Amino acid sequence: MSDSSSLDLGLVIYSAVKPIFKIYFIIAIGFYLAKRNILSVSTCRDISDTVVTAIMPCLIFNNIVSNLKSSDIKNIGIIIFTSALLFTFGGLLAYGIHIITKSPKRWLGGLISVGIFPNISDLPIAYLQTFAKGGVIFTTAQGEKGVAYVCIFLMAMVMCQFSFGLFRLIEYDFRDELKVDEEHKVCSDSESSTRNQPEHEKVNNSSPVGVGADKSRTTQNGSNSDSDSIISQAVASDRLDIEEEEEDQHNQFLKTRAEQAHKSRSGSSSVHSEGSAVRRRTSNASELSVPYTITSVLSRTSDLRRQRSQNVQDVINEYSEFDALRSNEVQRTRTATSEIAVEPSVKAESKVKNYLKQLYKNVTTPSSLSLIISIAIAMAPPLKALFVNSNFYMPNAPDELPPLSFIIDFTSYVGAASVPLGLILLGTTLARLQVKKMPPGFWKTALLITIARLIIIPIFGVGVTTGFYKGGWYGSDILVRFVSVLEFGLPNATSLVYFTAFYTDPLSEEHLQMDCLAICLICQYAILWITLPFLTTFTLKVSMGL
């Protein structure tokens, strides 16, 4: 803090409200671009993949290596323990709300996810970066170190969500759809096997001993030769039909090419918008793979931007893997039933092996690798001295900077785009939320989960951090305490929308899980501009006594 004297209340209130303007302005930009279809669903998915794969790892590496040191290992442990309390208390609170309000059972896992997972990265980073500008309450260096602490909170949430498999809470809500499809698949398989059984028995029982067997073989051979001749004639006629169809298609193709060439030479061209465009990449790929199909390539600007604004149905069409999950679930259940009866130990080993493979994949993602590598470098003074100036002696490069300072410069330059892009994507997600039907009495669930997320959990966070401070956990470091309180006062992560869309059937007429989630997100982000500045002001003036 720049001044050791007591802070003026008006200064604290203004400093707490000021970052909200920047955050909501960036969200509004994303909202506008989504409504204009400038940022389509597929484009947002590409940007999101780019952020997670390349930009976010650079932000993590730059802030952790530059701002953390070996003496901060205690604070890292405190942050991980605090995040565990945050997730546990939020999940238990959400389950209690489910019992009290009798919310839909088909959204139990989603409700618990709403209680567990906050928007733990983009929002607090944007808030801290603006809050520390000017050095009035926190210095710029403290703000950058606070971003490093936020990255540790992000690591804890990623571990819980993926390594511990809590993302399957959302899959639990779709168990009925998978079960119905599984029973239908098993019934159809049994019916087909029943129909094939009499034919199989007839073949096996048509070979008596003696003269009767020779007669039956002769009769079968005669009937087989007649059927072969009929089949060969049918194949020949089908081949002629196919050749004629190919010739017609080829002539039509040449005619179309000639007309297009004539239009291009005359300089007149017209673009007609299609009635309904298929936006999923898989659908587009399958459409192009159909033989003898002639499609005109329309301009993205003239086609997509002239249509209605994309909504949550387009998000579901883009992200849904319901068919693949349904097929895998049926196959997994059937093979599990057969293998458990024969070799139960092999099945148990395969579960452990699959879990270890999944854990290995999660650890080797770019963000996870960046976290592990950056923490290892920050905790080792000789390695850290290669990147930034420190107390450990390391000969500088000819430009009087650390030998690997260009890596920090690169990651700082690229990582700076992570938070603005994340907030823009947040705005696009909020713009596409749509509530088709509210379940009866669900307003009570939405109201209580919003109060729990933005009022009760922050109160719990203030109490926990105050207890840690009085217990001597934080020492003289007020920054880690402030960042911890900030993490308790955040709304839900909009990534839950994409997890829900991943398991949603795009052909279903109702999307209860998505409707419930959309209502909760809209309520939380509608009042965040009040609750977060209030929490910040209360923490600085009352809890921390600044």
- Cα 351 to Cα 358: distance, rounded to the nearest angstrom: 11
pLDDT score recorded for residue 241: 55
How many CB atoms neighbour CB 232 within 10 A? 10
Q: What are 126-163's pLDDT values in tens digits?
A: 999 999 887 888 999 999 999 999 999 999 998 898 88
Please name every residue paired with 492 in a beta bridge, in sequence order, or none if there are none.
Answer: 118
Q: What are 508-537's pLDDT values in tens digits?
A: 888 999 999 999 999 999 999 999 999 999
Q: Are 60 and 371 in contact (CB under 8 A)?
A: yes
Mean pLDDT of 195-218: 45
DSSP state of 118: B
pLDDT score recorded for residue 207: 45
- Cα 290 to Cα 278: distance, rounded to the nearest angstrom: 15
SS3 492: strand
Q: Which helix (H) or strand (E) holds 292?
A: none
Q: Token pair for residue 46?
A: 């590409």
Instruction: Determine the angle formed by the axes of helices 140-158 and 73-101, rounding to 10 degrees.
Output: 60
Q: Token pair for residue 322?
A: 């319901």
pLDDT score recorded for residue 355: 80
Three-state secondary structure of 247-297: HHHHHHHHHHHHHHHHHHHHCCCCCCCCCCCCCCHHHHHHHHHCCCCCCCC
**Chain centroid to CA 505:** 17
pLDDT score recorded for residue 274: 40
Tokens 């450990």 appear where? 392
pLDDT-derived band of residue 350, with 50, 70 and 90 as boundaries? confident
pLDDT-derived band of residue 213, with 50, 70 and 90 as boundaries? very low
SS3 173: coil
Q: Are 193 and 134 in contact (CB under 8 A)?
A: no
Q: Token pair for residue 338?
A: 């057969």
- Cα 187 to Cα 181: distance, rounded to the nearest angstrom: 10
Q: What angle do CA 485, 486, 491 make, to 5 degrees?
A: 120
Per-residue CA distances from 509 to 491, 505, 506, 521 (Å): 29, 9, 8, 22
Q: Pick 419 or 260 by higher pLDDT.
A: 419
Of 33, 148, 21, which is closest to residue 426 (Cα–Cα)? 33
Q: Are 423 and 25 in contact (CB under 8 A)?
A: no
- How would you class 146 by CB atoms within 10 Å of its CB: exposed for 0-12, middle for 13-18, buried for 19 or more? buried
- Cα 304 to Cα 293: distance, rounded to the nearest angstrom: 22
Q: What are 65-119's pLDDT values in tens digits?
A: 999 999 999 999 999 999 999 999 999 999 999 999 999 999 999 999 999 999 9
Q: What are 11-38's pLDDT values in tens digits?
A: 999 999 999 999 999 999 999 999 999 9
What is the distance between the terminal CA atoms of the chain, rounded to a whole angstrom?
Answer: 9
- Cα 38 to Cα 309: distance, rounded to the nearest angstrom: 10
Residue 219 has pLDDT above 60, yes or no: no
Of 67, 120, 19, 6, which is closest to residue 484 (Cα–Cα)? 120
Mean pLDDT of 363-374: 91
Q: Are 51 and 421 in contact (CB under 8 A)?
A: yes
- Cα 233 to Cα 309: distance, rounded to the nearest angstrom: 55
